[in-house]
Each structure stands twice: as C-alpha cells, then as structure tokens.
Structure 1
Amino acid sequence: MADFDRAELDEMVRRWLQANKDCEEKGDWRPLADFYTEDATYGWNYGPKQEFMAVGRDEIRDIAVGLEMDGLEGWTYPYQDWVIDERTGNLIGLWKQVCEKKRADGRNYSPEGIGGSWFRYGGDFQWSWQRDFFDFGNVSALFLEMITDNALSDGMHKRIRRATSGEKLPGWYTIGEAPVPLW
C-alpha cells in the first residue's frame, strides 16, 4: 500500500502549476510560500563554493521566492514533466527558465541544460522541502550573454549589484555551512 495517495499528489502538482502561472503573471513569487509547511526548507547549490538555504516558511517567502526572485519579472518557468513517487512522497519537476526578452535571431533568452526541483510532500497540499538543480555553467553563460546584449531588466541590474556588493546575502552559505544540509 502506498504511503501517499496518488490522486492527492496529482492535485498538489495541479495546484502548484496554477499558482506558478499566477505568480509569473504578477512577477511576484511570494504567494508560493503558502505551499510550504511552516518548518519547510528550500535550497540549491550555486557552483563549487556556495549554496543557498531558506529555513521555514517566512524565509522561503522573504528570501527564496522573494529576494532571490526579485529581478526575474518577465521570466517563466514552464514545467516540462514530473516524476512522482507515491511511496516516498518525492516529486521531481523538470522545468525551463525562459525570459520574455528575445535574442536578435528571435529566440527567447533561456539557458541550455536541465532545470528542476526535487520536492518532498508534507501533506495538506504543502511541500516539506524543495531542492532546486540547474546547470550553473549554462545559467552563467546566459546572463553574460544578456549583459553583453544589454538585455537585462533594471531589476536584474539591481540584483547583480546586490550580488556583487561584497555584503553577506541572506540565505547564502559556503558549501557545507548551511543550517540544513542539501542532502
């Protein structure tokens, strides 16, 4: 017998996808925090030296889907497919990252490679944790291309200034020093 009801997990995915579309339209992902348990964690690796971790719904709202998504207005994250394990409550959603701005050849700016999120279902239509993964090299190359093409929004310029200010950014840790491990 399964530990999680497949119909409930499918409904969770349906609700999540709709909420993502709604947030993309508004350019504000903070409402997604309501999809996490009060004690949920959300993290990702960012290359060989840094990782990000938000602990608790408030940090997820304020930092992970707040501050870290600021500047990405006009971007969408269309999910391409899902892998769902009703035995463990693990779900993997595979997505693209697509900017509304277009290259000179008419293609949208979008990193190559695979992006995705690994979720653990916590019941009551909430995630207990999320771990994102993406191709760091391709994302870096895309943003360098956008800088060179003068295709960044004012919000992205502000985001880059914040990231390169030398100040300690909330939620960012040296590998292995986050309050909750990625694994």
Structure 2
Amino acid sequence: MAEFDRAELDEMVARWLRANQDCEAAGDWRPLADFYTVDATYGWNYGPTQEFMAVGRDEIRDYALGTEMDGLDGWTYPYQDWVIDDRTGNLIGLWKQVNENTRPDGSHYSPQGIGGSWFRYAGDFQWSWQRDFFDFGNVSALFLEMITANALSDGMTKRIERSVAGPLPGWYPIGKGPVPLW
C-alpha cells in the first residue's frame, strides 16, 4: 500500500472540516460529494438488521448526503479528534452529533457515546470510501426523547416519516448490500 504525504492528509482534513461547517450552515450536505472519487463507497450499520451503502459519487450525493441528511438542518457534527495513518491513508474522525434545540436544563440534544467516520484517502483530496459508526442505542434513545418532548423540527419529523413508510434507496438487510460494509 502506498504511503501518503502527511501534510497532504492534514490539508485534506482541514478542507473537509471547512466544507462540513459550510454544509451545516447551509443545511445541505450534498456539496461534500465532491470529496469522493467517482467510484467511492459510503456506508454504515444501523442496528441488528439494516445497513446503508451508497456506491459511487452520485449515490453518495443523492442518498448518503441527500436523502439521509435531509431534515437534519439544525444539527452539527463537530469533529473532536482525528487519527491519521500516513502509511495506509486510513483516517478516523471522531465526532459528536449536536442539535441546536435545548432541553429545559439548557443542554443541547446530543446522543451519548462515540460517533465517527473511518475514511480511506485516495489522493487528490478525495476519499475512496467512508464507513460511519455510532451508538445505535443512544441515537435511538435521543430521537425518542426528542419526539416525546416535541423537540423535532418539521424537517426531522418528515425525515422519520419517510424512513418508516418503506425502504429508502441505499438500505439493505445486513450483509445484502452491493458492497461489503467491512
């Protein structure tokens, strides 16, 4: 496996963080698709029976950064730290998921646990793949708490309604996706 220039990887992270902040502010994550190779893959596990996989930049734009992120305006994903391996091009970004709404005690709605993304750098300031990981139980508990407190935005309510109405593009039973998750 090729080695990568550490300064280039650091610049990739800086570009990625700036673009993420811009997308959070706009409430539209689709522009992040330009950070992926044409044939990149992006997936995550969602509990014991489902996983998500987008194959190719267009599916990443339309499904992972589009359909899956629509309704998440008001959410930010501040990265807490990075682990960078310049020998392999593997990067792990550890992030939190934070909603702009607050509980009666003033704390922001945010799941407990660790969230993160594992990336493979392809060169030319692009990812060849991304795999997200997060604590499904804590995320589920947070959304239930927000539903109970009537703290969901209209967009988030519509997003949940879309999800329960039937399978969305990119969702597969565990192990049945077009590309292995791990």
Matches within 5 A, 1:1-183: 3-165=3-165, 167-183=166-182
**Structure 2: gaps of 5 or more residues:** none
> In the alignment, residue 26 of structure 1 is paired with which amino acid?
A
Task: Work out the percentage of aligned pairs sharing the same amino acid.
Answer: 82
Deviations 1:41-99 (A, max 9, x none): 00000000000000000000000011100010010000000000000000000000000
Counterpart secondary structure, 1:51? strand
CA distance in 2, matches of 1:80, 1:86: 19
Greater mean deviation of Cα atoms: 106-115 or 155-164: 155-164
> In the alignment, residue 103 of structure 1 is paired with which amino acid?
R
Q: What TM-score results when the alignment is normalised by the length of structure 2?
A: 0.98
Deviation at 1:156, TM superposition (A): 0.8
**Structure 1: gaps of 5 or more residues:** none
* Count of residues paired in the alignment: 181
CA distance in 1, matches of 2:178, 2:139: 26
CA distance in 2, matches of 1:151, 1:117: 27
Counterpart secondary structure, 1:13? helix
Deviations 1:1-57 (A, max 9, x none): x71000000000000000000000000000000000000000000000000000000
Deviation at 1:145, TM superposition (A): 0.2
Deviations 1:107-152 (A, max 9, x none): 0000000000000001100000000000000000000000000000
Counterpart secondary structure, 2:59? helix
CA distance in 2, matches of 1:161, 1:72: 13
CA distance in 1, matches of 2:157, 2:23: 21
CA distance in 2, matches of 1:116, 1:171: 20
> In the alignment, residue 170 of structure 1 is paired with which amino acid?
P
CA distance in 1, matches of 2:47, 2:160: 17
CA distance in 2, matches of 1:182, 1:34: 22
Q: What TM-score results when the alignment is normalised by the length of structure 1?
A: 0.98
Deviation at 1:168, TM superposition (A): 2.2
> In the alignment, residue 175 of structure 2 is paired with which amino acid?
G
